[in-house]
Amino acid sequence: MKKITILLLCCFCFFSSYSQADEHLEDDELLWQFSLGTFWVDSTMAQLVGAESHFSAPGLLIDAKIEYKNFYLNTHSGDFYGGSDLGYQLIIENDWGVDVIMGSYQQPFNENGYYDRDEEVHELKGIKEREADLSLGFAYYLSHGKFQTVAELVFDAFGESDGWLFHLDTTRNFELRNWDVWLNIGANYYSSAFIDYYYGIDADEATAFRPEYVVGNTSSFYVQLQADYPIAQSWVFSAGASGFAYSSHIVESPIVHSRDARVVFMGVKYVF
């Protein structure tokens, strides 16, 4: 079934590229924008039982926007909760569009927790590795006033979950004096197969203290805020914060201790 889904998507993309592609992008011009910076990042993931979920350290964050013909790569340093980074524009209109997209939406982990380390997490010993998804699907974009809304339906075509998720968010960019502010509010709806791969417990992972468990359909909600301030030519100060929470029933999983996550960061980046 997974291979059939991928094949149908590829066929659709192939034929649509002739009939729907925007002609002004079908040249050989390469468009790009890139920034690189050093930031202090303080993050807390949804906590796994017995595992470290807090991380605080300097890090390297990258913003990149690259377009070639109808293909694009787009990353944002303030987005810590996954999403589409690669895409192909199928339909381009003045205030809406449809893309084929690919990206990762879920944080991987194993019996050592989210972070690779030597010490063993007793409560997670014996669970299989949960790998990051690599999801493929479609996105519908709509611009309305000063907001842009996107709805994404993706299938974990190249990952291990064999599930799907629906992603919906709206973004507003606005200027406040010399600050460039980016506000994003969104939600995800995960199929049982998708979320159960990460937080469910299979028979071969079960113990006396970790019973078998199947996670049903689940949702999550998040808000993200980032502000940039120019401090010199090509140099920008950037700071932001994010909050995220799963549905309350996710903590019924034997390996989940808390359902919420947060990120705070600040630093300086150079814009090329």
In this predicted structure, what is the pLDDT of residue 47? 94
Tokens in use for 23? 């002609």
In this predicted structure, what is the pLDDT of residue 8? 47
Closest CA to 221 of 252, 257, 259, 195: 259
Per-residue pLDDT of the chain (272 residues; tens, 9 = 90+): 544 444 345 545 444 444 444 444 455 789 998 889 999 999 999 999 999 899 899 988 788 889 999 999 988 766 666 655 899 999 999 999 999 999 999 999 999 998 776 578 999 999 999 999 999 999 999 999 889 999 999 999 999 999 999 999 999 999 998 999 999 999 999 999 999 999 999 999 999 999 999 999 999 999 999 999 999 999 999 999 999 999 999 999 999 999 999 999 999 999 98
In this predicted structure, what is the pLDDT of residue 29? 84
pTM over 0.95: no
Domain ranges of the chain: 2-271
In this predicted structure, what is the pLDDT of residue 128? 96
In this predicted structure, what is the pLDDT of residue 39? 92
**CATH placement of domain 2-271:** 2.40.230
